[in-house]
Amino acid sequence: MATRQEFSDFLKSTELRAFKQAVFAVRDENMALDIVQEAMMKLTGKYADKPVEELPLLFQRILQNAIYDHYRRQRSQSLLTTLFSAFLPPLSQGEHDHYDADSDPLETMHVADDKKYGKNPQIALEETELIAVIEKALEDLPLRQREAFLLRYWEEMDVRETARIMGCSEGSVKTHCSRAAHALAANLRSKGVTL
Amino acid sequence: MNKDDCVEKKVVELLDQSLKGINKRTAARLQYIRNNALENFESGNRMIPDGRLAHIFAAITWHKNAAKLLFIVLFILLLAWAGSVWQIKYHVEDNGTADANFLVDDLDGDAHPDEPLELWHHPARSR
């Protein structure tokens, strides 16, 4: 059974990548944070008795399921919104003010600063632009291809583990990865990016 | 080696770099979420029973699942019964007779399909 420290280290090492994966999937940072929160709470609440070696696989499975759940919820919510939006009263000015005036404890939270200001500004700018192009290309990939690509190459999982997380065969994982790599390369080439 | 085969390495490299660009506010929110999850871990751990208590919890869970299954079976039986009653009622109302399709076969077989319902011999009434 994993200890609190092991859980903490694991979550710390994976939270940023999990957040990015969720952002690629849902294209909204707040939604992505909700998804990461849901996945972390589920992992710590239901799988606290699992050994630390099983955590990466479990967490990825939970995260992917949370992303699928988000899609399902969004589909049913958009249907309800379309049907009933005409009956909802618009927010009054006072209600808007109330939301803006909410104090957020996160505003005052201390976070360790990262060392990103040591680079040549031109190189830093080029890199930022390149990253933005790549992120956009990743967002444009079909869901399953992106999922396979990120799990296989970014999370460094093997084909068998990726297949278990995605709930498909190993052959499908290889196909998704290959298609994703080709689509990414083609997309980047079309934007004049050579890697 | 195909040119596209190298793309994943470079993309992953850049994605790793992109993590450094996550803004402070998002990092703080992630830290907050992590802390909450760890609190959840501690409270969850206190709730994981061991030894004899674990057996009791397992038994309760088993019985809960069994009860759910039983309710489902009973519900299906109720639906089947209601369906058959409905079918008989409306069939008789439509035709005014008990025909060979279901009444005669199911009961004692005395009634002719064209007989009116009043003349139909129900085993309970005959007794």
Q: What domains does chain A contain, in order, with CATH numbers?
A: 4-82 (1.10.1740), 120-190 (1.10.10.10)
Could you tell me which chain A residue has the CA closest to the CA of B31? A12
Q: Cβ–Cβ of A106/B4 closer than 8 Å?
A: no
The confidence band for B47, taking pLDDT boundaries of 50, 70 and 90, is low
Going by C-alpha positions, the residue among A32, A26, A60 that lies closest to residue B30 is A32
The confidence band for B118, taking pLDDT boundaries of 50, 70 and 90, is low
**Spatial distance between the Cα atoms of A153 and B92, rounded to a whole number of angstroms:** 69
State the average pLDDT over residues A95-120: 55
Q: Cβ–Cβ of A182/B4 closer than 8 Å?
A: yes
Q: What is the pLDDT of residue B121?
A: 59
DSSP A195: -
Q: What is the pLDDT of residue A174?
A: 93
Least confident interval from A36-40, A96-100, B21-25: A96-100
Q: Which residue has the higher pLDDT, B58 or A66?
A: A66
Q: Does A116 touch chain B (CB under 8 A)?
A: yes
Is the model's pLDDT at A171 over the cut of 90?
A: yes
Neighbours of B92 (CB within 10 A): 16
**Spatial distance between the Cα atoms of A155 and A44, rounded to a whole number of angstroms:** 20
Least confident interval from A116-125, A132-141, B117-126: B117-126
Contact call for residues A24 and A150 (beta carbons, < 8 A)? yes
Q: What is the largest CA-CA distance in chain B?
A: 91
Q: What is the pLDDT of residue B127?
A: 46
Q: What is the pLDDT of residue B109?
A: 53
Least confident interval from A10-24, A94-108, B74-88: A94-108
State the average pLDDT over residues B104-126: 58
Q: What is the mean pLDDT of chain A?
A: 82
Q: What is the pLDDT of residue A123?
A: 77
Q: Does A9 touch chain B (CB under 8 A)?
A: no
| A182 neighbourhood in chain B, CB within 8 Å | 4
Burial class from Cβ neighbours inside 10 Å (0-12, 13-18, 19+) for residue B10 reads middle
- Tell whether ipTM is more than 0.90: no
Q: Cβ–Cβ of A19/B22 closer than 8 Å?
A: yes
Domain map of chain B by residue range? 1-48
Q: Which of residues 120-179 of A touch B (CB under 8 A)?
A: 127-128, 130-131, 134-135, 138, 149, 153-154, 177
Could you tell me which chain A residue has the CA closest to the CA of B13? A154
State the average pLDDT over residues A183-195: 83
Least confident interval from A48-52, A66-70, B73-77, B97-101: B97-101
**Placement of tokens 């190298």 in the chain:** B6
State the average pLDDT over residues A164-186: 91
State the average pLDDT over residues B60-70: 89
Closest CA of chain A from B31, distance in Å: 8
Closest CA of chain A from B34, distance in Å: 7
Q: What is the pLDDT of residue B46?
A: 58
**DSSP 3-state of A70:** helix
User: If you write DSSP's letter for every residue of A102-162 in order, what string do you get?
Assistant: ---GGGG---PPP--SSS-HHHHHHHHHHHHHHHHHHHHS-HHHHHHHIIIIIS---HHHH
Q: Does A183 touch chain B (CB under 8 A)?
A: no
**Spatial distance between the Cα atoms of B27 and A100, rounded to a whole number of angstroms:** 22
Q: Cβ–Cβ of A20/B4 closer than 8 Å?
A: no
Is the model's pLDDT at B103 over the cut of 60?
A: no
pLDDT cut 70: percent of chain B above it? 61
Contact call for residues A176 and A159 (beta carbons, < 8 A)? no
Q: Does B56 touch chain A (CB under 8 A)?
A: no
DSSP A52: G
Q: Does A114 touch chain B (CB under 8 A)?
A: yes
Closest CA of chain B from A72, distance in Å: 23
Q: Cβ–Cβ of A44/B28 closer than 8 Å?
A: no
Closest CA of chain A from B32, distance in Å: 8
Q: Cβ–Cβ of B41/A185 closer than 8 Å?
A: no
Closest CA of chain B from A77, distance in Å: 25
The confidence band for B75, taking pLDDT boundaries of 50, 70 and 90, is very high
**DSSP 3-state of B116:** strand
